[in-house]
Protein backbone atom coordinates (compact mmCIF):
# COMPACT_ATOMS: atom_id res chain seq x y z
CA UNK A 1 0.00 0.00 0.00
CA UNK A 2 2.80 2.42 0.90
CA UNK A 3 4.57 1.93 -2.41
CA UNK A 4 1.33 2.43 -4.33
CA UNK A 5 0.64 5.72 -2.53
CA UNK A 6 4.26 6.84 -3.03
CA UNK A 7 4.02 6.00 -6.75
CA UNK A 8 0.86 8.07 -7.11
CA UNK A 9 2.37 11.03 -5.27
CA UNK A 10 5.54 10.79 -7.39
CA UNK A 11 3.41 10.95 -10.55
CA UNK A 12 1.88 14.17 -9.28
CA UNK A 13 5.36 15.70 -9.03
CA UNK A 14 5.80 15.56 -12.81
CA UNK A 15 2.89 17.91 -13.48
CA UNK A 16 4.21 21.29 -14.66
CA UNK A 17 4.10 23.67 -11.72
CA UNK A 18 6.27 26.34 -10.20
CA UNK A 19 9.85 25.00 -9.94
CA UNK A 20 10.19 26.03 -6.30
CA UNK A 21 6.92 24.34 -5.36
CA UNK A 22 8.22 21.26 -7.16
CA UNK A 23 11.41 21.36 -5.10
CA UNK A 24 9.46 21.53 -1.84
CA UNK A 25 7.19 18.68 -2.98
CA UNK A 26 10.24 16.68 -4.02
CA UNK A 27 11.87 17.11 -0.61
CA UNK A 28 8.64 16.03 1.04
CA UNK A 29 8.39 12.94 -1.19
CA UNK A 30 12.03 12.07 -0.58
CA UNK A 31 11.60 12.35 3.19
CA UNK A 32 8.55 10.08 3.05
CA UNK A 33 10.46 7.55 0.94
CA UNK A 34 13.41 7.53 3.33
CA UNK A 35 11.15 7.06 6.35
CA UNK A 36 9.16 4.24 4.70
CA UNK A 37 11.68 1.51 5.71
CA UNK A 38 11.13 -0.14 2.30
CA UNK A 39 14.62 -0.75 0.93
CA UNK A 40 13.81 -0.69 -2.84
CA UNK A 41 11.93 2.59 -2.38
CA UNK A 42 14.83 4.10 -0.43
CA UNK A 43 17.31 3.03 -3.14
CA UNK A 44 15.06 4.53 -5.83
CA UNK A 45 14.78 7.81 -3.92
CA UNK A 46 18.57 7.97 -3.52
CA UNK A 47 19.14 7.35 -7.23
CA UNK A 48 16.52 9.91 -8.23
CA UNK A 49 18.02 12.46 -5.82
CA UNK A 50 21.12 12.62 -8.01
CA UNK A 51 19.04 14.17 -10.81
CA UNK A 52 16.92 16.72 -8.95
CA UNK A 53 18.93 19.71 -10.21
CA UNK A 54 18.45 18.65 -13.82
CA UNK A 55 14.74 18.09 -13.30
CA UNK A 56 14.41 21.50 -11.68
CA UNK A 57 16.33 23.11 -14.56
CA UNK A 58 13.98 21.45 -17.06
CA UNK A 59 11.01 22.93 -15.25
CA UNK A 60 12.55 26.39 -15.16
CA UNK A 61 13.69 26.39 -18.79
CA UNK A 62 11.46 24.06 -20.79
CA UNK A 63 13.21 23.04 -23.98
CA UNK A 64 12.44 19.89 -25.90
CA UNK A 65 15.15 17.61 -27.20
CA UNK A 66 14.11 18.37 -30.78
CA UNK A 67 15.08 22.00 -30.28
CA UNK A 68 18.40 21.00 -28.73
CA UNK A 69 19.16 18.62 -31.59
CA UNK A 70 18.44 21.41 -34.09
CA UNK A 71 20.76 23.79 -32.26
CA UNK A 72 23.51 21.17 -32.04
CA UNK A 73 23.13 20.37 -35.75
CA UNK A 74 23.41 24.02 -36.72
CA UNK A 75 26.55 24.43 -34.59
CA UNK A 76 28.10 21.34 -36.18
CA UNK A 77 27.45 22.73 -39.66
CA UNK A 78 29.03 26.03 -38.65
CA UNK A 79 32.03 24.14 -37.27
CA UNK A 80 32.49 22.22 -40.52
CA UNK A 81 32.28 25.43 -42.54
CA UNK A 82 34.89 27.07 -40.30
CA UNK A 83 37.37 24.18 -40.58
CA UNK A 84 40.92 25.51 -40.51
CA UNK A 85 40.19 28.78 -38.76
CA UNK A 86 42.12 29.30 -35.55
CA UNK A 87 40.07 32.04 -33.95
CA UNK A 88 37.76 30.25 -31.49
CA UNK A 89 36.47 33.55 -30.06
CA UNK A 90 35.05 34.45 -33.48
CA UNK A 91 33.45 31.00 -33.72
CA UNK A 92 31.64 31.53 -30.39
CA UNK A 93 30.52 34.97 -31.56
CA UNK A 94 29.06 33.32 -34.68
CA UNK A 95 27.19 30.84 -32.47
CA UNK A 96 25.81 33.66 -30.32
CA UNK A 97 24.75 35.56 -33.45
CA UNK A 98 22.97 32.47 -34.81
CA UNK A 99 20.91 32.12 -31.62
CA UNK A 100 20.15 35.67 -30.43
CA UNK A 101 17.48 34.66 -27.90
CA UNK A 102 19.78 34.46 -24.88
CA UNK A 103 22.38 37.06 -23.85
Average pLDDT over residues 14-30: 81
SS3 of 90, please?
helix
Report whether 23 contacts 13 (CB < 8 A): no
Report whether 19 contacts 59 (CB < 8 A): yes
Distances (CA, A) of 34 to 5, 18, 29, 37, 89: 14, 24, 9, 7, 48
Residue 16's pLDDT band (cuts 50, 70, 90): low
Domain boundaries, the chain: 2-60, 65-98
| pLDDT tens-digit map of 34-91 | 999 899 989 999 998 998 888 888 777 777 788 889 889 999 998 888 777 778 888 8
Amino acid sequence: MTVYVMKASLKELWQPTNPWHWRAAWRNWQAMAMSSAIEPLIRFARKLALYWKGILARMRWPMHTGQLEGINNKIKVMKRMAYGYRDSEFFFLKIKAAFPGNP
